[in-house]
Structure formats: C-alpha cells, structure tokens
Structure 1
Amino acid sequence: MTHHVKSMLETYPKDLPGVDLEKLAECIDACFECAQACTACADACLGEDMVADLTQCIRTDLDCADICATTGSVLSRRTGFETSITKAILEACAAACQACASECEQHASMHEHCRICAEACRRCEAACRDLLSALG
C-alpha cells in the first residue's frame, strides 16, 4: 500500500517543505494497517470463549483503531498543513499504539490475533515517532 500512498503524496501540486515524503508515506500506511489490525483483533476477541477476560483488550483495540484511522486521514491532507496539530496527533497515536501493543502482548501467547495486532501497533508507534523526529 505504501506505493499508492507515496504516489498520491507526490501528486500534490505544491511543495511541503520540511516533510520527508518517505517517512510520511510509511506513517500513513502504518496507521491504516494498524487501524485494520486493531479492529480485527477486537472482533476476534469478541469471538473468544473467554470474552469477559478480554474487555480491556477490546476497548484498547477500538480506541487505537479510531486514533490510527484519524491520524492516517489527517496525515493524508497536506493543504493547510499545521505542524503543531500534526505533532500532537502523532504523539497521541504513538501513545495509543504503545498502550494497545502492551495490552495485546499480554494475550499474545494465547491468541494469535493479539500477537499480530501488537506487531502492527509497534510498527505504527515507531513510524509515528520517526515522523515526529523528522518534523523537528
């Protein structure tokens, strides 16, 4: 998916100085991938026999999915780019991913969907932090 994300970013008619398009594309891709993984993990948790034990995991998955989807959408819009808003949403997304990964890792040995979700969250967290560093 990163290819399409980067291709779309490259079609923007104006230059956006100070933004590394490669890191931006990677972060957008990681955000949308994480949102999907978190949504699917929450749904899989609902299908488990011990669903009552997974309430916190489900809640964290759904919160992270919403935050990641929103972050991916905000990062995809370049017109009127506001660095302070971008930094704030990247920080929030990294924090949500960190919390979700930590929660899912607690269940990873029992539930493969939690292991996969934790991996997606760690990738997204890293991508958000990389982009934050690039923005200065």
Structure 2
Amino acid sequence: MKEKMQECIEKCLACASACMQCASACLNESEIEMLRACILLDLECSTLCKATAELMQLDSNNSHALCELCAKICTACAEECEKHATHGMEQCRECARLCRECADICISMSAVA
C-alpha cells in the first residue's frame, strides 16, 4: 500500500508541474481568450494535486477523499487540454496525458478508503 501511495504522490506532483507549465505556455499564446478555461483548470488542478500529495505525505485520514476530488479535477483538466492539443499545442497534450495518469491512480487510491 505504501508503494501505491508513493506512486500516487509522484503522479500528483508530476501533474501539478505539468499543469503549471501548460498554464504558463498558454499565457504566452496569441489567442489567450480561447485558452481561458484551460489556464484556469490548469491552475486549479495544480493546486489540488499539490494539496493531495501533501495530505498523502502526512498520511492523513482525509487523503482518500481528496484523491477522489483530485481525480475529478484532473479529468476535467485533461478534457479541456485535449481540445487544444488537437491544434498542435504540445504543452496541452503533455498536460492532458499526465492529468489522465494522475486521475487513474487517484481513483484507485480513493477506492481504498
């Protein structure tokens, strides 16, 4: 169980980093208005992923509930990023991939509770 939790922590932190990189790259795009929802979800997802990882590191009794919410936000972020990835935005493609990975492991962690 500890190995799975460590993997989840690592996936959450990788996702948080990817989301921040995606938001930063999107802010430098010329069509920023089109990317507003993507940027907001990137920032929300990054914040929640970091919080989820921190609670798991504390071995909190609430980490399973937060994993469930994290999976939901990661999925929403992935769906939004995938819309832009089809237009050649590589940062969105990578963010969506890592969000999906994070969502998958967070779902499995939330089911353990």
Tell me whether the two structures share a fold, i.e. TM-score over 0.5. Answer: yes
Per-residue CA deviation, residues 9-56 of structure 1 (Å, 9 max, x unaligned), is xxxxxxxxxxx0121011000000000000000000000111111001
How many residues align? The count is 112
**RMSD across aligned positions (CA):** 0.9
Letter in structure 1 aligned against 2:105: A
* More helix by percentage: 2
Give the unaligned 5+ runs of structure 1. Answer: 1-19
TM-score, with length taken from structure 1: 0.79
SS at match of 1:106: helix
Give the unaligned 5+ runs of structure 2. Answer: none
8 Å CA contact 1:90–1:129 kept in 2: the answer is yes
Counterpart Cα distance in 2 of 1:38 and 1:120: 9
TM-score, with length taken from structure 2: 0.95
1:52-131 alignment, distance < 5 Å: 52-78=33-59, 81-82=60-61, 85-110=62-87, 111-131=89-109
8 Å CA contact 2:74–2:99 kept in 1: the answer is yes
List 4+ stretches of structure 1 deviating above 6 A: none
Letter in structure 2 aligned against 1:128: C
User: Percent identity, aligned pairs only?
Assistant: 41
Letter in structure 2 aligned against 1:36: S
Larger RCO of the pair (alpha carbons < 8 Å, separation 6+): 2
